[in-house]
Amino acid sequence: MAILPSGYTQLEYIESTGTQYILTNIIPTNLTRLEAKVSTTQSSSCGMVVCDETWQSKGYGFWGNAVALGNQTSQDVNLYDGNIHTVLIDSQKIYIDGNLILTYSGSSFSGVCPISIFALNRNGSIREKTSMKLFELNIDENTFIPCISNNEEICLYNSFTKTKLLNNGTGSFIAGPKVVQPNMYVKINNVWQPVTGIYTKTNNSW
């Protein structure tokens, strides 16, 4: 169970509709480690967790249909089938669901702009926003937790920097199911019972 500030509620995921995005302050290098769990059905113009200078220049991250590391890319990618996929970038290699997709063989590099979530950050310009669900995201020591803040904002919380990351786009994220704390109880048939795992909102009740 992730640790959040008082008043925050952890979610199973947050979902974008194609107009929202979050801009991190992380400028990657060829050695940056990333692990994400995502889902989308958008098959084109689908930046998910990615930044670059231009296509095949100082790229880092993944789209629904491609991955990039430095000047190397692969489009042998299908993250847009609606299933939940795990993407791992580690030791200059990119894996999808445990399968090696790309091995970087170029020289050391640093990105030119921060990594964007739910969109592509191309040389400081946000584009290719994507309708998707983000379940988990770790970039180096940064763990981004889907949650609702104490101000009822649907956001990500960085447990390393202890900061919340809000929508930088338009519209609103959609909250996934709440993650129940182990010591929480719900009333079922007028009997209070302990609950673990995920529960969902029905008829305006949790």
Taking alpha carbons only, the member of 111, 108, 134, 136 closest to residue 35 is 136
pTM value surpassing 0.75: yes
Mean pLDDT for the stretch of residues 73-77: 97
Q: Residue 198: pLDDT above 70?
A: no
pLDDT tens-digit readout, 137-190 = 999 999 999 999 999 999 999 999 999 999 999 999 999 999 976 655 666 777
Asked if 78 contacts 58 with a C-beta cutoff of 8 angstroms, the reply is no
Confidence of residue 191 (pLDDT cuts 50, 70, 90): confident
Longest dimension (CA), the chain: 64
Distance of CA 50 to the CA centre of its chain: 10
Q: Residue 88: pLDDT above 90?
A: yes
pLDDT tens-digit readout, 14-34 = 999 999 999 999 999 999 999
- Dist. CA 176–CA 198, nearest whole Å: 10
